[in-house]
Structures are given as structure tokens and as C-alpha cells.
């Protein structure tokens, strides 16, 4: 059984810049502050250059160590990965998460902008986990994702406006 979450946002920067930030091991951790029981991201350590099958080690603010394995990569359009190594109490509810980031050019207002859609599908440990997993992930993880997209927008939009001048 899977539980799906989605966060979307328009960012006033071209897809290439938004995609690059989403894969930036140095800058991205500060952009994911967590929410409630979802811990902030402290560090990302790439174990190989970005490519399908490449691994990245993640460290959360609570000391948990997780692993991302890139499953799809099509710059600057798509980035997907599987997140594993979840730690209790989340590990009691979900085995792993499958994330997909889509970056689509959005020129509705004539400016270079990107519509970002970040989707997570968590594979639950059992149907019995649903009553606890659904409110936790839909409430807290989705909020953490939305906060992250907002921070990405803040980081890129100011820099992009300055660069275009």
C-alpha cells in the first residue's frame, strides 16, 4: 500500500537553475528545514556523480542516516529517487519513499519561470499503518516539502532578478 503526497510551486527562475539547486548537495540541505516530527536535512554526501543508479548519503538533524538512489534523471526536466533507511518511528509506518521532481518551463507572464511538482509515494509497512501514516505524512511531510519549495524560490528568485539586471 502506498501513500502519495504532492507539493507544487512556481519559481521565477529557469528550469535549469531550479533543477541545479534541487540536486546541489551543498546548498539543498539548508532549504529543507523539516516540519514537526519530520527532521531537517543536515548534510548530503554524493557517493557518485548524478546519474541513474548513483547513491547519495543523507544525514538528518536528528542524526538519522538515509540513502537516496537516483532512479530517473533527465536534466533539467526530471529527477527521481528512492529514499531508504528510514528510522523509527517513521520506519514503523513506511519502508521507503519514492520521490519524483518535475520541472516545467512556465512562461505565462513572459518571464523565465519554472513550475515545480514534487511528488512522494511512501510504501507503507502494512495497511494497518495507514491511520497513523496518513495524517503524519500528509500533514507534516507535505508541509516540509512546501516549505522547502518556498525556500528554493526565495534563494533563486532574488539571485535570478539580480543576474538579469
pLDDT tens-digit map of 37-68:
999 999 999 999 999 999 999 999 999 999 99
Mode of pairing for the β-strands spanning 94-105 and 78-84: antiparallel
pLDDT tens-digit map of 64-93:
999 999 999 999 999 999 999 998 888 999
Q: Which residues span the domain enclosing 101?
A: 2-164
pTM as predicted:
0.92
| Domain count across the chain | 1
Residue 131 neighbours by CB under 8 Å, 6+ apart: none
Residue 66 neighbours by CB under 8 Å, 6+ apart: 57, 58, 59, 60, 83, 84, 85, 86, 87
Pick the closest to residue 2 from 122, 118, 94, 141 (CA basis). 122
Q: Residue 60 sits in a domain of what CATH number?
A: 3.30.530.20
Place of cell 532578478: 161
Which grid coordinates belong to 10? 512556481
Amino acid at each position: 500500500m502506498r501513500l502519495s503526497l504532492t507539493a507544487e510551486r512556481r519559481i521565477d527562475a529557469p528550469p535549469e537553475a531550479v533543477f541545479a539547486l534541487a540536486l546541489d548537495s551543498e546548498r539543498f540541505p539548508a532549504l529543507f528545514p523539516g516540519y514537526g516530527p519530520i527532521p531537517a536535512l543536515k548534510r548530503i554526501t554524493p557517493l557518485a556523480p548524478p546519474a541513474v543508479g548513483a547513491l547519495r548519503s543523507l544525514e538528518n538533524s536528528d542524526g538519522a542516516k538515509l540513502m537516496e538512489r537516483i532512479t530517473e534523471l533527465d536534466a533539467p526536466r526530471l529527477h527521481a529517487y528512492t529514499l531508504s533507511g528510514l528510522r523509527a518511528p517513521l520506519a514503523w509506518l513506511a519502508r521507503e519513499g519514492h520521490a519524483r521532481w518535475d520541472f516545467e518551463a512556465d512562461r505565462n507572464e513572459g518571464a523565465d519561470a519554472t513550475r515545480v511538482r514534487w511528488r512522494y509515494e511512501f510504501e507503507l509497512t502494512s495497511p494497518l499503518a495507514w491511520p497513523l501514516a496518513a495524517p503524519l505524512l500528509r500533514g507534516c511531510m507535505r508541509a516540509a516539502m512546501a516549505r522547502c519549495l518556498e525556500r528554493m524560490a526565495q534563494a533563486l528568485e532574488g539571485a535570478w532578478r539580480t543576474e538579469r539586471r
